[in-house]
Amino acid sequence: MELGNAGRRQWKGGQSHGHEVAHDCSRFSDASVTRSVSVRCAAASRKRGLTRDIDAASAAVYSRNHLHATDGYWEYSRFECLSGRHSQVASRNDVRASIARGLAFLEGVQRPNGSFPTYMSLDRAMQGDCAPDPSVFPMALIAYSLGFVPGAAELRDRALDFLLREMDGSGLCRYWSRDHSYPHNLPPDLDDTCVASAVLMRAGRRHPENRPIVLANRDARGLFFTWITPRPRWASGWAYWRIALPQLLKPRALYFFLRQSASPFDVDAVVNANVLFYLGDRAETRPVVTWLLTILREGRERECDKWYESPAAIWYFFSRALSAVVPDARQLVLDRVAGARPESPLDTALAACSLLAWDEQPSDAAVAELVDAQLDSGGWPRAGLYAGGRTRRPDGSVAPSASDMLWWGSEALTTGFAVEALARLDAAWSCRRPH
């Protein structure tokens, strides 16, 4: 199957941001899925003085794990894009080749400590000036995504090792990682803590018990505060106060709230979805379920969380939390996704993952569009996933993002979501058999 020029096209003029390909990797036939995928990571070479050649490290492993299962059937299964901007088909071999190239890219940019690059920028599309910003949350997201991808075990294990090192003795995480210039200028938070904990737990990795602290960090409605920090209200449990009280003696963490739009009383929907994702269905998380369903029914995705503006991101986090708890929410999400048009490859990947969380396959056009958006480097274009905190209105809703707001993302983060979507799709295809 030849992808041709369309397979090398970049999304809306997106650049590869310092990565170059040693040879043309956009032509794949059935046999060439196991061929060497050689990616030269120029940015990594400048930092580490090395060139990393992936000699079938991803493509061959992925192929060995899967191609034998349903070759005869899928030889006839092709997905033609109907969106009007494509004239190509995306076969199962195309999808697998795309996954292999994505894994090769991630292998090339993963740092020795197991983390991946993360950037911040005033440009939501992240096509302008971007500055590195080492942080925990994107690493937990990428590690979770890699859990769906055969052949990614080593990449994922190194990322899981990184997450374990970033946890403190109480099992809590801060947003900035330890190699950041100011890691302790932020208090610990439930977003990083619960996503990292959930990923480690699903991988069978033991970590310090932190659930008593998480459960103590709730408001009067039973919803979870974003930040683990002292507040003028009673919270039961010595475990919580053992973390919160010392912050009164360290004004740096509290000074953070004076300089930012963040508040000790922040209650954000995605954060609560990630708490539900970690803790699962239990009496203490029922108010969260009710709140998330209300947001979906009322179409308030754009204003339910201070840090996220894209509905596609909301659907992703809501879907992975609710799909195992409230099966009846399936149609709510499907209806919301069906009426949306992705604004970037990141949105396309997030929407596809949301559908797959409910055992619904993305459209043929979306599959071809995601494959077509892959860069020559093997990664997908960076875009802002979350922002530096919008203003919360008196009624609890959130105002639109300001023009001077910082956004966070990276090619590695978009690539994580993209390979998750394609790998989950490939697994869904494997379940099908000819009649």
435 within a domain of the structure (yes/no): no
Query: Which two structure tokens, joined as six digits, stand for 142?
Result: 């990428």
How many angstroms separate the CA atoms of 341 and 338, rounded? 8
How many angstroms separate the CA atoms of 205 and 379, rounded? 28
Task: For 204-215, give the DSSP string.
Answer: T------HHHHH
Handedness of CA 386, 388, 391, 392 (dihedral sign): positive
413 within a domain of the structure (yes/no): yes
Range(s) of the domain holding residue 105: 5-430
Cβ partners under 8 Å of residue 237, min gap 6: 212, 213, 215, 216
Domain count across the chain = 1
376 within a domain of the structure (yes/no): yes
225 within a domain of the structure (yes/no): yes
173 within a domain of the structure (yes/no): yes
**pTM of the full structure:** 0.78
Cβ(191)–Cβ(224) below 8 Å: no
Length of the chain: 435
Query: Quick one: which of 234, 237, 314 has its CA closest to 272?
Result: 314
138 within a domain of the structure (yes/no): yes
404 within a domain of the structure (yes/no): yes
Query: Quick one: which of 303, 290, 359, 312 has its CA closest to 331?
Result: 359
Per-residue pLDDT of the chain (435 residues; tens, 9 = 90+): 222 223 322 333 333 333 322 223 332 222 332 232 333 233 333 333 322 333 333 444 444 444 333 222 222 233 333 233 343 557 899 999 999 999 999 999 999 999 999 999 999 999 888 999 999 999 999 999 999 999 999 999 999 999 999 998 888 999 777 676 555 668 899 999 999 999 999 999 999 999 999 999 999 999 999 988 876 665 666 676 667 766 666 666 565 655 677 788 889 999 999 999 999 999 999 999 999 999 999 999 998 998 999 999 999 999 999 999 999 899 999 999 998 889 999 999 999 999 999 999 999 999 999 999 999 999 999 999 999 877 778 777 778 877 788 999 999 999 999 999 999 999 999 886 443
| Phi then psi dihedrals of residue 118, to 5 deg | -130, 140
267 within a domain of the structure (yes/no): yes
CATH classification of the domain holding 40: 1.50.10.20
Query: Quick one: which of 349, 351, 324, 356 has its CA closest to 425?
Result: 356
Identify the DSSP state of 225: P
